[in-house]
Amino acid sequence: MAEASGGSTSDPATTLDATGLLCPLPVLKARRALKAVPPGGILEVLATDRGATKDFEHFCQTTGCQLVEASEQSGGILRFRLKKPG
Marked catalytic residue, from 21, 23, 46, 68: 23
pLDDT at 2: 40
Residue 6 is given by DSSP the state: -
> What is the distance, to the nearest Å, from the Cα of residue 83 to the centroid of all Cα atoms in its chain?
9
Q: Which amino acid is at 84?
A: K
Q: Establish whether 23 is a catalytic residue.
A: yes
CB neighbours of residue 38 within 10 Å: 12
Segments of the chain scoring below 50 in pLDDT: 1-9
What are 70-85's pLDDT values in tens digits? 999 999 999 999 999 9
- Which domains can be identified in the chain, with CATH numbers? 2-83 (3.30.110.40)
pLDDT at 51: 95
pLDDT at 62: 96
